Amino acid sequence: MARRFFDDQEFQAGVATELGANASHHIGKVLRMAEGDELVVFNGHGGEWSARILAVGKKAVTVEPLAFVADDRTAPLAVTVALPMIKGERMDYAIQKATEMGAAQIVVLDTERCEVRLKGERQEKKLGQWQQVAISACEQCGLNRPPQVTGVRSLKDWLIGDLPDLRLIAHPGKSPFSPAALKGTAELALLTGPEGGFSDEELRAAEENGFVAFALGNRVLRAETAPVALLAALWAWESSD
């Protein structure tokens, strides 16, 4: 299979195109691909282009798009995954795997029991890093629309924002979530908690704002595992309808 690369620009068949810094560096410096090599490029707007390398320069790689393939492989259910900041590489893991599992959007939250706090320039740098993690995951797994990674928002503010009608929170509930709720649903919000879990006040606020508890049995999943496992369950239920 041809390697895949994201670059946020328009492509046209037969028109030589100079790729941006990230894609060029990966192709020319990391992978050491050469003139004539075949690859796939996509810009996040749906579909992808087969292409070949025309030139590998010191600062940029030039490609020739050959043919457009309209298949964007987007999941049928648009899921906004809201997750807290998690320590170290586990946050990268959560974003990477949520992307591979088809999250349409990822929102980073600040909750009472978060063990990480970011502000100012450091926060912006981290958001850029996490967005690149999502892009790299799309390059690897075949998706053509990277989820936008946004935040960092307080849980309280996010809960009262414009959210889908179906809202799920990763927490054992009084009764199990019914897959029947997915029937006819086009989008939903999935909220998962930090290492220390949600506080009682946060759980009440989520419930007051229409969130329904969604858990896989009585197990307590790690913060980086929960969004991946729950997305897998959602897709299994959605496809079995």
Q: What is the pLDDT of residues 203-240, one digit of tens each?
A: 999 999 999 988 877 778 899 999 999 999 888 876 66
Q: What is the pLDDT of residue 122?
A: 84
Q: What is the pLDDT of residue 151?
A: 84
> Within its chain, how far is the Cα of 92 from the centroid?
10
Q: Looking at the DSSP assignment, which residues form a beta bridge with residue 53?
A: 63
Q: What value does the mean pLDDT of the chain take?
A: 91
Between CA 198 and CA 194 the distance in angstroms is 7
By DSSP bridging, strand 61-69 and strand 17-18 are antiparallel
Query: What Cα–Cα distance (Å) separates residue 136 from each residue in 6, 36, 140, 142, 186?
Result: 8, 23, 6, 10, 26
Q: What is the mean pLDDT of residues 156-164?
A: 95
Q: How far from each other are the two terminal CA atoms of the chain, in whole angstroms?
A: 32
Cβ-Cβ contacts under 8 Å for 241 (sequence gap 6 or more): 179, 182, 183
Residue 173: pLDDT band (50, 70, 90) is confident
pLDDT above 70: residue 60: yes
The DSSP 8-state label assigned to residue 27 in this structure reads: I
Q: Are 37 and 54 in contact (CB under 8 A)?
A: no
